[in-house]
Structure 1
Amino acid sequence: MTSWEQNPPVPTAPMGPQIADDLAWSDLTAALGAGWRDFLAMPRFGLFFGGVYVLAGLAIGWFTVTGGELTWLIPAIAGFPLVAPFVAVGLYEASRRRAAGEALSWRAVLGALKGHDDDQILSMGVIVFVAFSFWMIVAHAIFAVFMAESGMGHDPIAAFLTPPGLAMLAVGSAVGGLMAFAFYAMTVISLPLLVERKVDFLTAIFTSLGVVRRNFAVMLGWAAVIAALLFVAMLPGFLGLIVALPVLGHATWHLYVRAVG
């Protein structure tokens, strides 16, 4: 009997995604540059997804204003970036295909939303919807605490400049910022991972959290870049998002490739 037969190898579980712990600030500039080049190389996909995102933002604004629900407008606009990672799934697939030299087609790019026929990306979509809905409920509760007595009145801007209004904005911004970062940490790597590999969404979420934990300063910086660019792009009636969203989506894919071996 051979030694191999006496001591057969013990099967091991397949290794999960390997997480880099040495991301640098230069990786962020490199990702943005690569994202910009992807956008210029295949603008039809970027403009399509950016346009869908803009139309969704305009629709949210229109429904809240025409419905007389101004108290929902600010939290809706503030929480709107939460859905950006899910909208960018097609952009991740476009960048993946371009890097791999695979054919680019609408069917392939739009088909990325169904993942590997395992509903994992759709499960993440449900999480996105729940997170956005939860933020809206929390934001409205904060409004009720600080503004229940005074209300918005006929001049919403003046109402926000009152002591209760300023307190509401401060608390809402702090709570919203913490919720947004938690959601960012869950999705920034998980959705690109689900596009590329056949893993379950919980593994993808834990991988994303691991990347953020091991590279906290750099990933916090990337969150700040995303927030700043999306905020500036939203100012001209959401129109800047037509370019900002696809560039950031493509860039996030390249940062994912650097972060997950």
Structure 2
Amino acid sequence: MSDVTSHPVGEGAPDIREMEIGDLRRALHNGWRDFRRKPFFGLFFAAVYVVGGWAIYLLLFQAHLEWLAIPLTFGFPLIGPFLAVGLYEVSRRLEAEDYDWTARDIFAVVWRQRLRQLPSMAWVIIVYFLFWSFFAHMLFALFLGPSALTNVTSSYAYLLEPEGLTMLLVGGAFGAVFAFVLFALTVVSLPLLLDREVDFVTSMITSIAVIRQNPKIMFAWAFTIAALTFLAMMPGLVGLIVVLPVLGHASWHIYRQATVTSGERGAT
């Protein structure tokens, strides 16, 4: 592990480490290990996510709004970090070698978060997701025209025309920017809010500070998350049953490798 760089962004906020590429491999290894040790929690939280995705798509098809499936496919993963809070708690306890707990204890911790700062972060994520959906709708109409919004429900040929391909490219580029901004705001903030008593604004500033301190490493982590999530979504979201919990557990270890507690600071 590299040297520590202090970033006093707020009361209770941790200092930040300078990370190495090996930290990503360790985080994924530890995430897979945590998933294998406590698979029930990973499978449960991932199932909630996958079933939620299926339900959204089913409602869209029943409402003849199939065209919305495209932006939602790219936007739906934005809410994944919030659903991973339970996985953070499992990894936190395993890391502390605390094995005297049950599933009820984990769900109780998740339930108690409603009284802390996590609901504020949840609203940030939800509003962000809704804004992305609106933006994708506007982009669709801008490139293909309002009539395509109804005609695409019976034929996806619009998407194979030059305007449709351009819309997909532009939308994909904007979507990548939207996703990375949210990644920068949440990559450390969510596990930090679970781990410490800090406000959600401080947690987001800390998360951005981690990105600024380790831009190449964190960009590689963002790419890893995007690539694995995209591949896992291809077979009807089924791959997320494994990928989501592993990434959720690994995200906890990224947080721990990117920050320094007071005890670790004194030992450095």
Question: TM-score by structure 1 length?
Answer: 0.90
- Letter matched to residue 148 of structure 1: G
User: 1:148 maps to what in 2?
Assistant: 145
State the secondary structure of the residue aligned to 2:16: coil
2:99 is the alignment partner of 1:90: no
Asked if the contact 2:190/2:203 (under 8 Å) is kept, the reply is yes
Q: Residues of 2 paired with 1:74 and 1:176: CA distance? A: 11
User: 1:10 maps to what in 2?
Assistant: none
User: 1:217 maps to what in 2?
Assistant: 216
User: 1:239 maps to what in 2?
Assistant: 238
- Letter matched to residue 88 of structure 1: A
- Letter matched to residue 49 of structure 1: F
Q: Residues of 2 paired with 1:117 and 1:150: CA distance? A: 43
Aligned length: 247
User: 2:206 maps to what in 1?
Assistant: 207
Asked if the contact 1:85/1:249 (under 8 Å) is kept, the reply is yes
- Letter matched to residue 190 of structure 2: L
Shift of the 243–162 alpha-carbon distance from structure 1 to 2, 3 Å rule, reads: same
State the secondary structure of the residue aligned to 2:14: coil
Shift of the 165–150 alpha-carbon distance from structure 1 to 2, 3 Å rule, reads: farther
What's the CA shift for 1:161?
1.1
Asked if the contact 2:12/2:196 (under 8 Å) is kept, the reply is no
Within a 5 Å distance, the mapping from 1:1-261 to structure 2 comes to 16-20=13-17, 22-102=18-98, 103-114=100-111, 118-148=115-145, 151=148, 152-153=151-152, 154-156=154-156, 158-261=157-260
User: 2:5 maps to what in 1?
Assistant: none
Question: TM-score by structure 2 length?
Answer: 0.88
State the secondary structure of the residue aligned to 1:101: coil
- Post-superposition Cα deviations, 1:14-58, rounded to whole Å, max 9, x if no partner, equal 5631011x2111110110000000000000100000111110111
- Letter matched to residue 155 of structure 2: D
Shift of the 167–14 alpha-carbon distance from structure 1 to 2, 3 Å rule, reads: closer
Comparing 164-173 with 96-105, greater Cα deviation is found at 96-105
Asked if the contact 2:12/2:197 (under 8 Å) is kept, the reply is no
Q: Residues of 2 paired with 1:146 and 1:15: CA distance? A: 47
What's the CA shift for 1:113?
3.0
Larger Rg: 1
What's the CA shift for 1:115?
5.3
- Letter matched to residue 69 of structure 1: L
What's the CA shift for 1:167?
1.2
State the secondary structure of the residue aligned to 1:155: coil
- Post-superposition Cα deviations, 1:140-199, rounded to whole Å, max 9, x if no partner, equal 00001011166144321x211101101111111111110110001000100000111111
Q: Residues of 2 paired with 1:216 and 1:113: CA distance? A: 31
The runs of 5 or more residues in structure 2 that have no matched partner are 1-9, 261-268
User: 2:6 maps to what in 1?
Assistant: none
The runs of 5 or more residues in structure 1 that have no matched partner are 1-12
What's the CA shift for 1:94?
0.5
State the secondary structure of the residue aligned to 1:19: strand
Asked if the contact 2:49/2:83 (under 8 Å) is kept, the reply is yes
